[in-house]
Structure 1
Amino acid sequence: MIVRWCENRGIKLPDHTYFNGEDEGLTRADRDHFLELLNNMSSTLPEQKEAAKKLRLLTKRIPSFRTLFGESTDAVPQLLSPLSRTKPGTDIVRNHPDLQEDVITTLLNLSIHDSNKMLVAETPTAIPVLIQALQSGTIATRSNAAATLFTLSALDSNKAVIGKSGALKPLIDLLDEGHPSAMKDVTSAIFSLCILHENKVRAVKEGAVSVILNKIVCRIHVDELLSILAMLSTNQKAIEEMGELEAVPTILSVIRETSCPRNKENCIAILYSICFNDRSKWKHLREDERMHRTLSQLARNGTSRAMRKANGLLERLDRAVNLTHTA
């Protein structure tokens, strides 16, 4: 605003005051400091640590610093250089977890800026460094790595890049471990990535179905995990695996317990897919109707979508009973 005011009145500011009027008032000294910090990421270990900590704070407190990473194709690789698999100092990850955490958190901060999402995902070392962090970091680092993948996956093109890079397996492993502080970030990342069909296939192959069902049985993050499971229920192999793992009684019990309409919708969508794929599962629905009348209650009190699918299952049950009586 000051720059524009001066320009409108013909007042010329000294060259050293502002390097770019569009960068929300960052001074040339700010930019020089930023470049110095990036250069220090390739210096001695103490300088790397100090620079990483400062970059973390700057990108958190001053959004304008996030845009600076887009000015050069070398900026993100410089930030990640201490953690790069191609560098000889790989032991840094194990011996200096604070450095890894600061670098990953900085990557998360700058990835929030929309113009950086593609830049980060297409940096060759970025996704491998995030995968490494998911596998070997502190729980805070692993959670921030998952959050970064979630943020980057806002772009469909990035969903494909992340999926092909093999990130779903360590995300599912982290979900399986069940650290409370990481669950929100990891479920968000898996859900976002699985919007892409190819990533659904990868997630099922990497064991997502059994991990998710185990968490739902334990009533851990049921809302988020039901959303993922409902999304995966459009995949044939996922449906077959849910049937093999006896998911139907578990899903019926969730319908009875939850008061969340969205959860009920996701549950009935999952049941619909399983039961119309495997006729042997109808026995669970018949037994449940005799004891609890779960579907009947949902058909009367659910959302329009839930009522429609519940009625579809009940009509199929009625036909099966009539056919049995006729026979």
Structure 2
Amino acid sequence: MKEVIEEDEVDEARKSRRKTSSIRSPSTSESIAAPAMLSSAASAAAAERKKELRRLVKKISEEDDDQTVTYDKAAAALSALRDLKVGPKERKKGDRIHPLAIPEHFLCPISGEIMRDPVVLASGQTCDRAFIQERLNSGNRTCPKTQEVLTNTILIPNHLVQSMISEWCKENGVNLSPLGNQDEGLVTKNERDTFDELLGKISSPSPAIERRQAIRELRLLTKRNRSFRAVIGEKPNAIPQLLSVLSIPSLTEDPQVQEDTVTTILNLSIHDNNKKIIGDSPQVIPFLIDSLKSGTMETRSNSAAALFSLSAFDSNKVKICQMGAMKPLVDLLEHGSPTAKKDAATAIFNLCMAHVNKATAVRDGAVVVALKAIADRSLVDESLTILAFLSSDQDAAEKISENDGVACLLSIIRDNPNSRNKENAAVVLYSICMYDRSILKEVREEEDSKGTISWLAQNGTSRARRKAAGILERLKQTMSSTYHSY
């Protein structure tokens, strides 16, 4: 995207000179011509200072000897250039200057912003360390300014430019905020501008087709560029702008717009710092829940994935469940596509990590649907994980035993080759054995005929062995109690 730079405001006094008589005195004529002469001289002097400064910076980057004298000369050249550009040091400390007055060599050619940690590349150009390192890590070994292939990837600290930047920031009251989490991607000025432009199209009264295209493009950018996901933390109004399409009936009823909006929220939620921001937006969770109920299968799947991502933030877990997400998630677990079922299962499991949500999951049918999925062998791993987590709740344990869950669990322990599935089945079976003595008869019959629990106590994972041993102990206690009752 082409970067637009605003021009300095023109001094209106120069445009509206007071009309005088047609005969001017020599002194008046000279006073009018003087500014133009000084401007021309200043430009020539500034060009000369820039040339000198470039020579000194190159000398510093190429030589290893003591650079003290050269540093002093460069600092003096920079000071003189500054005085020519923005005037002598008459500005009060803390005063800000117009962005256009930022010296060009303070700006990173990648980010377009003032460098925090300037380093010199093999090409002799200076970049901000974090941005050039990210570029190199991605496999791009070209200089961002000259486009030549770098002969090596050594980054040499540019102490001169660093000290110049520090001095300039101090004098002009510029406070450089630290870069965000570099693992999530570094945001450049162009990316910020693109993000703003797309949000502007989405939220402005532009034609519906332009809004659709902007939402689609934002979806793709937040998918491909991890740094795009970090922009939202700098723009608190981004989510309301994105969801402004919900106020346009022609767009709200468009299945593709709904899918693109849901997926954009999903992409943005991957960034850890965004989970609270998105979850706190009053429109987001209700929108995702509505999309779970009425969207295309792809939209429903991505809505479930977005709720799973947001539920990683603890306060969102309770909020999502209170707003009614559990029932449509259970419905998707039962009737969705294979991918949608997995997304629903992971969301349900994550939500149930908040203890208060377990009762809601049981009430909304999660236990019954999970048992059905296990019996159908359609989603065994995820369903067993949900049951293992819910089975500590007494209502859940009762639901499992009421719906022929014991036979299903025993068949998993006996026949399923996955040791993790055997472990989770043992966890669930142990819980319901503690709550319901009546199922022990069925367990004993399995043990007497096939030795299933004894085998697990010897061959399962460490957790499975503990649970199997607990079940055997429970069986032993029951036998002893029955014997002494005669």
Q: What's the TM-score once normalised by structure 1's chain length?
A: 0.89
The residue aligned with 1:296 is 454
The residue aligned with 2:292 is 134
In the alignment, structure 1 residue 243 sits paired with structure 2 residue 425? no
Say which structure is richer in helix. 1
Query: For 1:116-135, what aligned pairs fall within 5 Å after superposition?
Result: 116-135=274-293
**Count of residue pairs the alignment pairs up:** 316
Give the superposition deviation at 1:151.
1.1
The residue aligned with 2:240 is 77
Aligned-partner residue type, residue 240 of structure 2: P
The residue aligned with 1:33 is 194
The residue aligned with 1:263 is 421
Contact 2:446 2:452 in 1 (8 A): yes
Aligned-partner residue type, residue 284 of structure 1: E
SS at the partner of 1:199? helix
SS at the partner of 1:166? coil
Query: For 1:168-187, what aligned pairs fall within 5 Å after superposition?
Result: 168-187=326-345
Contact 1:93 1:136 in 2 (8 A): no
In the alignment, structure 1 residue 58 sits paired with structure 2 residue 221? yes
Structure 2 CA distance for partners of 1:320 and 1:20, relative to 1, 3 Å: closer
Using the alignment, how far apart are the partners of 1:119 and 1:158 within structure 2?
10
Contact 1:143 1:182 in 2 (8 A): yes
Q: What's the TM-score once normalised by structure 2's chain length?
A: 0.61
Using the alignment, how far apart are the partners of 2:481 and 2:270 within structure 1?
58
SS at the partner of 1:10? helix
Contact 2:289 2:328 in 1 (8 A): yes
Query: For 1:161-240, what aligned pairs fall within 5 Å after superposition?
Result: 161-240=319-398
The residue aligned with 2:161 is 10
The residue aligned with 2:258 is 100
- RCO higher in 1 or 2 (8 Å CA, sep ≥ 6)? 1
| Aligned with residue 308 of structure 2, among 150, 154, 158 | 150
Contact 1:101 1:140 in 2 (8 A): yes
Q: Point out the more displaced range, 120-129 or 169-178.
A: 169-178
Radius of gyration: which is bigger?
2
Using the alignment, how far apart are the partners of 2:336 and 2:374 within structure 1?
12
Using the alignment, how far apart are the partners of 2:466 and 2:401 within structure 1?
22
Q: Point out the more displaced range, 303-312 or 195-204.
A: 303-312
Structure 2 CA distance for partners of 1:10 and 1:244, relative to 1, 3 Å: same
Alpha-carbon deviations, 1:74-108, whole Å to 9, x = none?
1111112223xxx362x6444x2111111111111
Contact 1:56 1:103 in 2 (8 A): yes
RMSD: 2.3
Percent sequence identity is: 48
Structure 2 CA distance for partners of 1:21 and 1:317, relative to 1, 3 Å: closer
SS at the partner of 2:161? coil
Contact 1:93 1:137 in 2 (8 A): no
Using the alignment, how far apart are the partners of 1:279 and 1:30 within structure 2?
63
Contact 1:20 1:26 in 2 (8 A): no
Aligned-partner residue type, residue 26 of structure 1: T
Give the superposition deviation at 1:230.
0.7
Contact 2:292 2:304 in 1 (8 A): yes
Aligned-partner residue type, residue 179 of structure 1: S
